[in-house]
Amino acid sequence: MAKSGNEYRLLMPLIPALLVVPALAIAEFDSVDAAFLIVLAPLVAFPIILISGQLKNGEKAWKEGLKEGGTLALSALLVSLTTALWIIVDYLRGAREISEEVGERVATTWGDWISFDVLLSDYTMSSERVIGVGVWVDSVTLMLLFVATFLCFLICWFSLGYMNTDPINENRNHRFYAEFVLFAMGMFGMVLADNFLWLFIFWEIMGLCSYLLIGFYFWKESAAYAAKKAFLTTRVGDVFLMIGLLILYDIYGSLEFSVIFEDPSLNGSVDTDKLFWALLMLFVGAVGKSAQFPLHVWLPDAMEGPTPVSALIHAATMVNAGLYLVARMVPFVDVGHHGVAGLEDLGLIVAYIGGITAFMAASIAFVQNDIKKVLAYSTMSQLAYIFTGLGVSLWFYNHGNADAAALVFGGSMFHLFNHAMAKGMLFMASGSVIHEVHHAHDHLHHGSEHGHHDFDPQDMRNMGGLASKMPVTSAAMMIGSMSIIGIPLIGGFWSKEAIVAKTWKASLDYEPLMLGPAVLVLLTAGMTGFYMSRMWFMTFAGEPKSEVVDHVHEETPWIKEPLVILSVISALGGFGLSVLGVVKWLAKPYKDDIGIQKESVFDQVIYELEHAFLPEDPNLRIVGWTTIFLSLVVGPIIAARVHGGSLRAGQSSNPMVSWLVWISGRFGSQDMSEMADSSLSEALRHRLYFDHYYEKALGMTAIPLASFAAWFDRNVIDGIVKQVESSSVLGSVQIRRATTGRARDYIMMTAVGMISIFALAWGVSG
């Protein structure tokens, strides 16, 4: 549309932001030392946007020139992005000699934060202990840093279109952008932190921003409730994480990665049980943040926030923090490199939690009709995949099989990357759908209040047949879904395959107990195929299910560019990066020389394909093809039978999407309404009653206890005080009777008193 040409002039503030990194490079800054900019830029932008927004609210220049702070946020995030890219490029070029180097890591400590002494058990003081501030850069850091900075930038870009064109957000967007950049600061800081305490600090900052952004529509009771629920549930995990930090500090006398990872076994003298508990506590924290069973209840409700927030925080970045923390546990268990033996149980627990969550979330996703809720459960399920992979990796590391461990570790981290890209994009695409449907509905019912409140633009039962109206969005969503499902050769396939295969390998060759997660992740692969296809078909294929669909146009500026960019990355990134050896690169910090780096790119391609489709182990070959069969054939075809259907005659979209829609109509149709009425799907609709029972349990314990405590304080503890007071008042009333007010009585009393004193004195002296 014509206006969008003018819109992009607003990107002028980005130009100085682009110049920051070249300026620093010319000034001969080290890229690692410039890392503070990644955190500082959004931190500075936060108060500027918030306060100027508060003061300039409603002014035209602020609203249209600066997009209520949006372009300021975008500039700050651009500074972060370019600095991050600079570091990545420097790292890949091998220019690390500039900093203190520990293997493949670059660690820089900038200064002390707090310092103190510790009284040792022989009653002497330790030398001064310090908790410092610095950065820690290795391949895992860099991958997450890229994901975070890149997605923050793109999603902020998307928000310029999504948030600023919705009249309900008018004059409130500065709050959105301020909290957005504060969140970005938290995420970047957490990824870069060089010790567990700072990791925790930024971790909590993210939690705060998640809370604020979920509650962005503060006047909605559901949003207020969801925000509180999200904060409290993650807070439960955070407290355990903090306890884990306390134990770690007690064991190592430090929380710095560089100190702890140097020799986690303390020359074999470490108390294994204590360390096990420390790591388990850290894992509980990760479970809370990454919405895993049993602390998963907050994530679906978190979809109350604006869609860009769901895309960024609750799909692509913050929920990965838990995974990042678990990935940082590897040195503790890596028996080949001073790790502590006997921690296999930890790997099992992580894998089981992952398996259970993956299966449970996927099954709940079957019955969701809200497009964002489907994606939320999908996020839970995919994160659980990564947890399973990391659990298997921890187990292998602890078992001494470093090669297998490194491969599944790299695979898990790679899945994190693929999932973040695809899911961030899927959420933005769903945002695009919701936004346009909402606009179309407003357009249709312009001026009439009727039907405004019972229409839900997020409900997929109001959509259908959108493929012809939204070609870009439908294609993007198709590619994203394919990446999540694991359609061969696309995005997530490469990483998911590695996780499933290695989990089976662990269960078949080593540890029978791994069979549980192995079966669960295999089943989940098929279920993913079903619910993702279902979502796509319900939204884009078939006949329109409401009149609103006919009025939908894909026309809001700022929305399409991120979708296109991320589609390309999702489609090609998986294969491309696999060929470039990203799995091994990601496992590098913990294992130097693994696998075989082929001579030419072509050999590498052949190797990767062979590795994926025809592994040497016959069992894994069966597992691999079962996964492909379930996710490519079974799930999508069932979904097509239930929800698929051709477009209305005469309407078409771009060729690929049209073909997919057409083929979805070729499988016939099946009526599932009988199953939909069963008690199982009823239970799934109620999210397996977790929320219900949690609330009931809290309602029956915490609230009465609190009321009792308040009653007890007022009536018993303060009651005793009041009793003392009232009895002393009674006593004084008695005494007051003696004061008659008649002078004679007073004189009498004086005389008696005097005489007694004399008598006393006489008696004492005599």
Partner 1 sequence: MILTILALSPIAVGALLLVLPQILPSHAGDQVRTFSRNMCMGVSLGLFAISTWAAAHSLSDLDWMAIGFGSYELENTPVDLIPYIGVSWHVGADALSLPMIWLTSLVVPISMLVEWDAKRGHLFHPLLLVMEGAMIGVFVSLDLFVFYVFWELTLIPMFFLILMWGGADRRYAAMKFFIYTFTASVIMLIGILVMYFNTGTSISDRSFDLEVILASGSTMSEGLRHIVWMLLLVGFATKMPSVPVHTWLPDAHVQAPTAGSMILAGVMLKMGAYGFLRVAVTAFPGSTVVFTPLLVALGMASLVYGAWVCMGQTNLKRMVAYSSVSHMGLIFLGIATMQPLGIAGALFMMFAHGIISPLLFAVAGAFKHHYHTLEIGSMRGIAHHSPWLSGHMMLGWMASLGLPMMAGFVAEVAVLIAFWMTFGWLVLLPALTLIITAVYYLTSMQRTIFESNDPHNGLLPETLHGEPRDITWHENAGMAILGGLTILFGILPFFFWDMMSYWSSELIDTVLVAAMESEGVKP
Partner 2 sequence: MIDPSWIAALGVILFGIGLLGTFYHKNAIVVLMCIELMLNAANLNFVAAATHYGDVNGWVFTAIAIAIAAAEVAIGLAILLSMYSTQQTISLDAASKLRN
Closest CB 333 distance from partner 1, rounded Å: 22
Q: Which is nearer to partner 2, 453 or 744 (CB)?
A: 744
Q: Which is nearer to partner 1, 8 or 693 (CB)?
A: 693
Q: 505: how many CB neighbours lie within 10 A of its CB?
A: 23
Instruction: Find which of partner 2, partner 1, none residue 224 binds, CB within 5 to 8 Å per kind.
Output: partner 1
Best CA proximity match to 398, nearest among 325, 329, 324: 329
Alpha carbon distance 460, 453 (integer Å): 16
Alpha carbon distance 175, 172 (integer Å): 6
757 touches partner 2 by CB under 8 A: no
54 touches partner 2 by CB under 8 A: no
- Euclidean distance between the first and the last CA atom of the chain, given in angstroms as a whole number: 117
102: CB partners within 8 A, 6+ apart = 258, 261, 262
Alpha carbon distance 466, 433 (integer Å): 9
Tell me if residue 195 falls in helix, strand or coil. strand
Closest CB 303 distance from partner 1, rounded Å: 17
759 touches partner 2 by CB under 8 A: no
Instruction: Find which of partner 2, partner 1, none residue 747 binds, CB within 5 to 8 Å per kind.
Output: partner 2
Closest CB 238 distance from partner 1, rounded Å: 8
Q: Which is nearer to partner 2, 93 or 744 (CB)?
A: 744
Instruction: Find which of partner 1, partner 2, none residue 201 binds, CB within 5 to 8 Å per kind.
Output: partner 1
Closest CB 763 distance from partner 2, rounded Å: 19
Closest CB 156 distance from partner 1, rounded Å: 22
For partner 2, the binding residue among 23, 341, 706, 747 (CB under 8 A) is 747
Instruction: Find which of partner 2, partner 1, none residue 519 binds, CB within 5 to 8 Å per kind.
Output: none
Q: Which is nearer to partner 1, 215 or 424 (CB)?
A: 215
Best CA proximity match to 332, nearest among 321, 347, 322, 319: 347
742 touches partner 2 by CB under 8 A: yes
Residue ranges in contact with partner 1 by CB under 8 A: 50, 54, 112-121, 123, 125, 197, 200-202, 204-205, 208, 211-212, 215, 218-221, 223-225, 227-228, 231-232, 235-236, 239, 242-243, 245-247, 249-250, 702-703, 705-713, 717-718, 721, 725
H helix and E strand count, the chain: 32, 3
Decide if 463 contacts 370 (C-beta within 8 A): no
Q: Residue 131: beta bridge partners? A: 114
**Which amino acid appears at position 508 of this protein?**
L
743 touches partner 2 by CB under 8 A: yes
Alpha carbon distance 661, 674 (integer Å): 25
Instruction: Find which of partner 2, partner 1, none residue 744 binds, CB within 5 to 8 Å per kind.
Output: partner 2
Q: Which is nearer to partner 2, 705 or 759 (CB)?
A: 759
727 touches partner 2 by CB under 8 A: no
Instruction: Find which of partner 1, partner 2, none residue 243 binds, CB within 5 to 8 Å per kind.
Output: partner 1
**Which amino acid appears at position 137 of this protein?**
V
Decide if 557 contacts 161 (C-beta within 8 A): yes
732 touches partner 2 by CB under 8 A: no
For partner 2, the binding residue among 171, 670, 740, 756 (CB under 8 A) is 740
Instruction: Find which of partner 2, partner 1, none residue 409 binds, CB within 5 to 8 Å per kind.
Output: none
Instruction: Find which of partner 2, partner 1, none residue 168 binds, CB within 5 to 8 Å per kind.
Output: none
The first and second tokens of residue 327, run together, are 């990935």
Closest CB 748 distance from partner 2, rounded Å: 6
Q: 102: how many CB neighbours lie within 10 A of its CB?
A: 15
Closest CB 128 distance from partner 1, rounded Å: 9
Please count the residues of this chain forming the interface with partner 2, following the rule CB under 8 A.
9
Closest CB 757 distance from partner 2, rounded Å: 15
Q: 111: how many CB neighbours lie within 10 A of its CB?
A: 8
For partner 2, the binding residue among 120, 748, 757, 760 (CB under 8 A) is 748
Tell me if residue 113 falls in helix, strand or coil. strand
Query: Cα–chain-centroid distance for residue 109?
Result: 27
Strands (DSSP E) contained in 277-408 are none
Q: Which is nearer to partner 1, 675 or 705 (CB)?
A: 705
The first and second tokens of residue 166, run together, are 């919705």
The first and second tokens of residue 282, run together, are 């850290």
Q: Which stretch binds partner 2 (CB under 8 A): 79-87, 423-431, 736-744, 758-766?
A: 736-744
Alpha carbon distance 127, 536 (integer Å): 62
749 touches partner 2 by CB under 8 A: no
Instruction: Find which of partner 2, partner 1, none residue 751 binds, CB within 5 to 8 Å per kind.
Output: partner 2
Closest CB 204 distance from partner 1, rounded Å: 5
Closest CB 756 distance from partner 2, rounded Å: 14
Tell me if residue 254 falls in helix, strand or coil. coil
For partner 2, the binding residue among 650, 741, 763, 766 (CB under 8 A) is 741
55 touches partner 2 by CB under 8 A: no
Q: Which is nearer to partner 1, 280 or 484 (CB)?
A: 280
Closest CB 26 distance from partner 1, rounded Å: 30
Strand order in the sheet with 105-116: 101-102, 105-116, 129-137
Backbone angles phi, psi at 670, to 5 degrees: -135, 140
Give buried/exposed letters for 606-632 (b at 16+ CB in 10 A, else e).
ebbeebbeebeeeebeebbebbbebbb
Closest CB 208 distance from partner 1, rounded Å: 6
Tell me if residue 72 falls in helix, strand or coil. helix
- Residue keyed to tokens 């018993």: 716
Decide if 46 contacts 77 (C-beta within 8 A): no
For partner 2, the binding residue among 92, 341, 751, 759 (CB under 8 A) is 751
12 touches partner 2 by CB under 8 A: no
Closest CB 719 distance from partner 2, rounded Å: 30
556: CB partners within 8 A, 6+ apart = 161, 162, 165, 432, 435, 436, 439
734 touches partner 2 by CB under 8 A: no
Give buried/exposed letters for 371-407 (b at 16+ CB in 10 A, else e).
bbbbbbbbbbbbbbbbbbbbbbbbbbbbbebbebbbb
Q: Which stretch binds partner 2 (CB under 8 A): 4-12, 16-24, 659-667, 738-746?
A: 738-746
Alpha carbon distance 164, 172 (integer Å): 9
Q: Which is nearer to partner 2, 446 or 744 (CB)?
A: 744
Instruction: Find which of partner 1, partner 2, none residue 537 binds, CB within 5 to 8 Å per kind.
Output: none
Q: Which is nearer to partner 1, 90 or 204 (CB)?
A: 204
Best CA proximity match to 521, nearest among 542, 494, 497, 500: 500
**Interface contacts to partner 2, rule CB under 8 A:** 739-744, 747-748, 751
